[in-house]
Structure 1
Amino acid sequence: MPYANDDDFKFFKTDAFKKYAEEEGLVDYLKTFLTEKKVEGIEKVLSQRTNHFTVLLEEVFKLQNVGAIIRTCDCFGLQNLHLIETDTKFKVSLKTTMGSAKWVDVNTYDSTKGAIETLKSKGYKLVATTPHTDMSIDDLPVDEPIALMFGNEKDGISDEAFEMADYKVKIPMHGFAESFNISVSAALSLHTLSTKLRKLPESEWKLSEEERKLIEAAWVCKSLDRHETIAKTFKK
């Protein structure tokens, strides 16, 4: 399959791609090279996509956990995931994410502070999960954009990330174990929050028209083996 890892997706995050996607008639032309079923599938998934929630992973060192969480984000309709990698560098492949890396935008950072400040500047409330708090994930308000933070498999999130969090919440547990596996924690948290979110008016959580058009263009291109070559025939 094309676009084997995140390096191959970088073009879709550039201003050059935005200009490319905005060329009048181009995306509609590219769609004619896809099956009707594929086009309908893209439109259906896009209609449920959101940037109201996102996930921030800090120094997660097991690739299978990163892959599982990207897949979970796709399943719950999240368009973006953020990855802090100061020591561990990942090649996020389609294989390890069961293809979901093709549809979820992975944004990388080289510092915790930089990642959190970027998300806060976009209006996100940062949420740390910890068993040592009274607030449950069920009580977390969803009327503001939320970024769920998860740390590495051994130590959890750093003290720096914990101190910068706007909320500290726990996932209710009733056994001897103190915490869930990180990918399970992400799935449980997103299930709880997504259920609450989709009870809100759609205007509060769905993609803007501008976001939708840009993502649609990227997905159409990623669904074609040689979109650049096909685009050249359109320009002629």
Structure 2
Amino acid sequence: MASASSAAAAPASEDRIGLPPRLRRAETVLRMRTDRIVLVLEHSTDFQNIAACVRTAESFGIQTVYVVQSATMRKDHALSSQRDEGDIRAVLRAAAGEDDSPSTPVVSTGDADEAAEPSALGVKLSASKAAHAWVDLKPMGSIAECVEALRADGRTIWATDLTPGAQLLATPGEAAVLRGMGLYGNSGPVEGEAATAPGPAPAGMTCLPRKLAIVMGRETDGISPAFRAAADSVVFLPMYGFAESFNLSVATALVLQRLLEICPEAHGEMSLERRAGLRRDWFERLLRSTSLRGDHERFISMAGADDAARGDKATAGDGLLMTDLRRGNKRAMWNKKMKRRLGAVDEQMGRFDVEAAVTASKRGRMEAQRDVGDAAATAAATPAAAAAAAAGEEAAEQPTA
């Protein structure tokens, strides 16, 4: 018979494991969010690239993205002179094809009255697609305004550029390989530039500033002279091919990955107060259109208490955090319209026809076995045929009676 104390403890245990799947995912993501690194996009003119860079930053756990708006962005999309954050989000929604037309699948924009479509994991498909809804976008009207904001936040500014004197953004292991090849001395000459004295051999980076802003320039010519002059350091990624540069979104992904490889402890580096604010915003949005919307305060309190006690050192799988953020059955997360559209494509192309694949595999194995059998039979028949031919020749040579 259970004691009174154990019965009293049951509700607390139920509360502890009662975090809905979508909130468990959100809490897991939140514990890995970082404020140590912020991304700055300067004067990009390709809205698809901006959207891709924001999605990449969100995927790596970068919470804040500064967007220095280009004249093209302000003109083509009629952005307000106040540089309202809602305007830049509208640009990103348009770049990602996320409009309100009937032909476009509904995706999350973080709006208050949006309907949520639950998935097998309890997370909206739309929430995973609209990455800009889960990061802090900081639209800036000019480089000077952006630099001032970064300095006010105590940021060290690193700009990415290929100019001579730029520091190699590499781990010590990669730097050791480059040293052995004599490549990428920090102040060495580049093709088309006046020769200078060879720079020091690359040593690789082992740490990052406590508060870092990494600046990515525009697609055509990289960072501007103004941002280069304002930067505390200029860095570049090593390249080994004929191409002179990476695409902006690719370069952004590689740079962020490299920074987090150099400083893996940056994951989860965010104050409790900052996480508490994001948790309240995320939980309220994720529960707004569900039957659990009245319980968001209880969930916020539950997760907040655990965060204060354990923070990013919490153990996944205890009912508050997920053990794996990968999506298993991605098809289960599609909305009905997307399922119908891609289902028709699947039927036409036979791309997901498992039965046909198995049949083809069996046929291939049978053909391979038949080929092996034919080869063996041929090999076995060859000596017998040769012996028979030799016997025939010998008989022909013998004189007849």
Sort the TM-score into its range (normalised by shorter chain). 0.7 to 0.9
Retained in 2: the 8 A contact 1:102–1:222? no
Retained in 2: the 8 A contact 1:55–1:80? yes
Retained in 2: the 8 A contact 1:76–1:191? yes
**Residue aligning to 1:214:** 277
How many residues end up aligned between the 2 structures? 196
Q: Taking CA–CA contacts closer than 8 Å with sequence separation of 6 or more, which of the two structures ends up with the larger relative contact order?
A: 1
Retained in 1: the 8 A contact 2:68–2:139? yes
**Residue aligning to 1:135:** 167
User: Are 1:101 and 2:132 matched, yes or no?
Assistant: yes
**Residue aligning to 2:85:** none
CA distance in 1 between counterparts of 2:22 and 2:289 reads 16
Distance change >3 Å, CA 72–CA 111, structure 1 → 2? same
Alpha-carbon displacement from aligned partner over 1:137-170 (angstroms, at most 9, x marks no partner) = 1245414211111121112211111100111111
Greater Rg by CA: 2
Choose from 242, 262, 282 the match for 1:196: 262
3-state SS of 1:93 partner: helix
Choose from 30, 52, 58 the match for 1:74: 58
**Residue aligning to 2:32:** 48
User: Are 1:92 and 2:92 matched, yes or no?
Assistant: yes
What percentage of aligned pairs have identical amino acids? 28
**Residue aligning to 1:154:** 220
Distance change >3 Å, CA 117–CA 82, structure 1 → 2? same
CA distance in 1 between counterparts of 2:265 and 2:35 reads 16
Retained in 2: the 8 A contact 1:94–1:101? no
Q: Give TM-score, length-normalised by structure 2.
A: 0.45
**Residue aligning to 2:151:** 120
Which amino acid in structure 2 is aligned with residue 40 of structure 1?
A: R
CA distance in 1 between counterparts of 2:278 and 2:229 reads 34
CA distance in 2 between counterparts of 1:143 and 1:154 reads 29
Q: Give TM-score, length-normalised by structure 1.
A: 0.75
Deviation at 1:199, TM superposition (A): 4.2
3-state SS of 1:49 partner: coil
Which amino acid in structure 1 is aligned with residue 133 of structure 2?
A: K
Which amino acid in structure 2 is aligned with residue 54 of structure 1?
A: V
* Structure 2 gaps, min length 5: 1-17, 75-87, 97-127, 171-203, 298-401
* Structure 1 gaps, min length 5: 1-33
Alpha-carbon displacement from aligned partner over 1:59-109 (angstroms, at most 9, x marks no partner) = 111111111111111111110100011411341228729311121111101
User: Are 1:181 and 2:244 matched, yes or no?
Assistant: no
Structure with the higher fraction of residues in helix conformation: 2
Distance change >3 Å, CA 80–CA 72, structure 1 → 2? same
CA distance in 2 between counterparts of 1:86 and 1:63 reads 11
Distance change >3 Å, CA 95–CA 114, structure 1 → 2? closer
Deviation at 1:209, TM superposition (A): 0.7
Distance change >3 Å, CA 179–CA 86, structure 1 → 2? closer
3-state SS of 1:223 partner: helix
Choose from 41, 47, 62 the match for 1:63: 47
What's the RMSD between the two structures over aligned residues? 2.6
